[in-house]
């Protein structure tokens, strides 16, 4: 009886996985967050297309409570222990770092995400002007500190505590 349950649940899991693999709807992108700079951050970032841009949702744990800088970085390489392999912010227009709602900003400048007292973040934001095609193969980075939205080149947001490569799904 127990064995049958295991078989049934693994079949269910296989069905769920194949539903994910085939997309099951609109195209989207996903990044699994990996802990960096000695942190224990874990979680997932999902980007979905919507008229005029993207919507991003984040589910993460292991953060320090409070605000954290959050950006799309140029390179989809999180291999360095401090995630510097992801290079700088995605910046196709060659502009200065700035507030995500202004016109003078990096394409990868996103709103700070906020972690609760337990260090967990459930975050969503609209990202006008971005497309899935331009972010595939890049990376998302969560920083230790808040982005002040003005200091160059990255808002003085400190160490990179999580990094994930953005992949098609
Ligand atoms: Cu960053």
CA of 89 to the centre of ligand 1 (A): 6
| pLDDT tens, residue by residue, 57-82 | 999 999 999 999 999 999 999 999 99
Whether the CB-CB separation of 139 and 90 falls below 8 Å is answered with no
* Residue that is written with structure tokens 């960096």 in the block: 36
| pLDDT tens, residue by residue, 141-164 | 999 999 988 889 888 999 999 999
Interatomic CA distance for residues 114 and 107, integer angstroms: 21
Instruction: Tell me the pTM.
Output: 0.84
Architecture of domain 26-168 in CATH? Sandwich (2.60)
Calculate what percentage of the chain has a pLDDT beyond 70: 85
Interatomic CA distance for residues 44 and 22, integer angstroms: 19
CA of 126 to the centre of ligand 1 (A): 18
CA of 138 to the centre of ligand 1 (A): 12
- Domain chopping of the chain, boundaries: 26-168
Interatomic CA distance for residues 99 and 82, integer angstroms: 24
Cis before residue 77, ω within 30 degrees of 0?
no
């Amino acid at each position: 009886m127990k064995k049958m349950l295991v078989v049934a649940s693994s079949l269910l899991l296989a069905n769920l996985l194949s539903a994910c693999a085939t997309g099951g709807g609109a195209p989207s992108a996903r990044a699994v967050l990996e802990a960096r700079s000695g942190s224990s951050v874990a979680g997932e970032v999902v980007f979905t297309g919507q008229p005029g841009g993207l919507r991003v949702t984040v589910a993460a744990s292991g953060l320090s409570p409070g605000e954290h800088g959050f950006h799309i970085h140029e390179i989809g390489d999180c291999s360095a222990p401090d995630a510097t392999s992801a290079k700088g912010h995605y910046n196709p227009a060659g502009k200065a770092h700035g507030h995500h709602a202004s016109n003078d900003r990096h394409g990868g400048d996103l709103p700070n995400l906020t972690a609760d007292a337990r260090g967990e973040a459930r975050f969503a934001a609209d990202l006008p002007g971005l497309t899935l095609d331009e972010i595939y193969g890049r990376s998302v980075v969560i920083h230790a500190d808040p982005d002040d939205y003005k200091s160059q080149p990255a808002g003085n947001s400190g160490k990179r505590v999580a990094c994930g490569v953005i992949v098609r799904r």
